[in-house]
Amino acid sequence: MAAVYAASVSLAAVSPAAAQSLPLIRDTEIENLLKDYSIPIFKAAGLASQNISMRIIRHESFNAFVVDGHNVFINTGTLTQAKTPNEVIGVIAHETGHIVGGHMAQLRSRISRDATKSLLLTILGIGLMVGGAVAGGDTAREVAGAGSGIALGGNDIVMRSMLSERRMQESAADQAGLRLLEATHQSGRGMLTTFERFAEQEFWQTKDLDPFVRSHPVAADRLNQLREKVAASPYVDRKDPPELQLRHDMMRAKLDGHMLPVQIVFNRYPASDTSLPARYARAIARNCSGSCAQAMPEIDALIRERPENPYFWELKGELLLKAGQSAEAIAPLRKAAALLEALKRTNPAVAYSQTKIMLGRALVASNDPRFLDEAIAMLTNVLGADKPLWQGEDDDWLGWWQLAEAYHRKGNEGEALLATARKLFYSGGAKDIREAQIYAKRAQQIFARGTRGWLIAEDIVTYKIPT
């Protein structure tokens, strides 16, 4: 699979987020689609200036959540199970409702002042941190399922009080989400479809569960409120534009192609299905299974049909990289970057850092010294390598690795050591950070005291690892 490319454009590339220790994936195509879904919602909520990021977690469950006012996390399971853009947009609107309502700040405040802080922190870590989880189920089941062995005992009243507050927050997020959908002239049917799906699951799985130990409102009450609000909207029957639906279907096909076993992909997208998404899924699945010779003609056919699609060119470059044909990968990756740059001129939200990182990898791996300066300049810009430690890109570890390699080949050992230290530091684990500090100390022996490189290394060396 494309895990070889880790945090690059490839889907199977999982890298830990330093702060959350979550299995995040990075992908240019999906991230740009999620931006198009979310930016109108964020603007309507008055959050456009907060630079909220959509972060993708590799997990098959249908879930999404917020932990602060700067990130919305969404599972790959949500993206593959949602049949329409409107369903995903409804999820994003709900999560935005949590941000607007300041619900996570309220929860943190509750924990900080409550005498049963340890219990609440345990619950928070297992279930309630996924504060906006549309599929979060009930906290009692999550706690039990995690094998925590928590006995409520004398803390029962405190926990019930907190969960009652959470139910009110969930209902408030529903209402806020519907207002945002209406403000952006979108239907609430997608949000309703999502909750109806989980109400059915709740009926079969937890119908005898004490309703006071739920992290979400009772399904019937919640659905009744949603149905009334959705039906009253003037945009209730508004459909997703066909081109947006196609992009959504392509995203689902891409995720399936990268993450499902090959035979399941071929069964779900049989050869008789000649649609663009089906052909995309099959080409990716063959790529991931190592059948490169079979996959290339399919990718070339996709490019001939839609030569303006940057992600087809990107996939070709990824395939060539995987096949060890790094020099040959440069041209299609340059083409992908150029097409994305053209899209950015009409849609400023378009980003393609992952494409540039993959191109940087191809430039370095080509073993052509003529490309090293270009690779260094590109990766330095994408990763923020000239910026202070806390402003650098923290979840593109492969980019830092490639930058270190490029500097090493240029004979610049100070920058090579520093890039290696930042790669390890951003990985987030205590063991990695300790190793990063070793590299940073070595880099400081090369940089002059007080220079940019020395100061960044000093931040790593003096960082106190949480215990």
Per-residue pLDDT reduced to its tens digit, 320-329: 988 889 999 9
Q: Above 80 in pLDDT, residue 344?
A: yes
300: number of Cβ within 10 Å: 13
| Domain match, 342 and 379 both | no
Split at pLDDT 50, 70, 90, the class of 152 is very low
Q: 316 and 179 share a domain?
A: no
- The answer to whether residues 342 and 376 belong to one domain is no
Domain assignment of residue 90, yes or no: yes
Rounded mean pLDDT of 364-375?
Answer: 96
CATH number reported for the structural domain that contains residue 288 in this entry: 1.25.40.10
Q: Does 295 map to a domain?
A: yes
Q: Average per-residue pLDDT in the chain? A: 81
| Between 388 and 154, residue with greater pLDDT | 388
Are 273 and 341 contained in the same domain? yes
What is the rounded CA–CA span in Å between residue 16 and residue 466? 17
Closest CA to 368 of 321, 422, 326: 326
- Which of 1-15, 100-114, 365-379 has the least mean pLDDT? 1-15
43-52, 105-114, 283-292: which has the minimum mean pLDDT? Answer: 105-114
* The predicted structure's pLDDT at residue 278: 98
Question: Does the residue 358 lie in any domain?
Answer: no
Same domain, 335 and 393: no
Asked if the model's pLDDT at residue 120 lies above 70, the reply is: no
- Tell me the torsion sign for CA atoms 356, 357, 360, 365: negative
Backbone angles phi, psi at 461, to 5 degrees: -60, -40
Within-domain flag for 335: yes
- Which pLDDT score is estimated for 127? 38
- pLDDT band for 116, please (50, 70, 90 cuts): low
How many helices (H) and strands (E) are present in the chain, helices listed first?
A: 21, 5
Q: How far apart are CA 75 and CA 338, in angstroms?
A: 30
In this prediction the pTM is 0.82
Q: Rounded to an integer, what distance in angstroms lies between the CA atom of residue 393 and that of residue 411?
A: 24
Tokens 């990289």 belong to residue: 321
Torsion of CA 301, 303, 307, 308, to 10 degrees: 140
Lowest mean pLDDT among 200-204, 221-225, 348-352, 458-462: 200-204
Q: Which of 58-62, 197-201, 418-422 has the lowest mean pLDDT?
A: 197-201
412 plus 288 within the same structural domain: no
* 282 and 427 share one domain: no
Binning pLDDT at 50, 70 and 90, where does residue 346 land? Answer: very high
What is the arithmetic mean of pLDDT over 81-89?
A: 96
DSSP string, 21-81: --EEE--HHHHHHHHHHHHHHHHHTT-GGG--EEEEE--SS--EEESSSSEEEEEHHHHHH
116/221 same-domain check? yes
Identify whether residues 105 and 182 lie together within a single domain. Answer: yes
Q: Output the pLDDT for position 157.
A: 52
DSSP 209: S
Instruction: Verify that 210 and 99 share a domain, yes or no.
Output: yes
Residue 214 confidence (pLDDT): 44
Residue 305, domain extent: 268-347
Considering only residues 316 and 203, tell me which one the structure prediction assigns the higher pLDDT.
316
Q: Over the stretch 395-436, which tens digit does the pLDDT of each residue have? A: 677 889 999 999 999 999 999 999 999 999 988 788 999 999
Say yes or no: 91 and 197 in one domain: yes
The answer to whether residue 393 is domain-embedded is: yes
**Residue given tokens 């079979």 in the structure block:** 294
pLDDT at position 133 is 40
Phi, psi angles (nearest 5°) of residue 137: 65, -145
Q: pLDDT class for 145, splitting at 50, 70, 90?
A: very low
How many domains are there within the chain?
Answer: 3
Rounded to whole angstroms, the Cα distance separating 71 from 54 reads 6
Residue 190 domain-assigned (yes or no): yes
* pLDDT reading at 94 higher than 90: yes
Closest by CA position to 97, among listed 184, 174, 182: 174
146 shares a domain with 211: yes
Whole-angstrom distance between the N-terminal and C-terminal Cα of the chain?
A: 35
The residue with greater pLDDT, 20 or 90, is 90
For the segment 170-191, the average pLDDT, to the nearest whole number, is 93
pLDDT reported for residue 181: 97
Per the listing, tokens 């004398």 go with: 154
Side chain identity, residue 35: K
Q: What angle, 0 to 180 degrees and rounded to 10, lies between the N-to-C axes of helices 413-427 and 430-444? A: 160
Is residue 256 included in any domain, yes or no? no
Cα distances from 288 to residues 124, 266, 302, 329, in angstroms, run: 37, 13, 17, 17
Q: Is there a domain that residue 362 lies in?
A: no
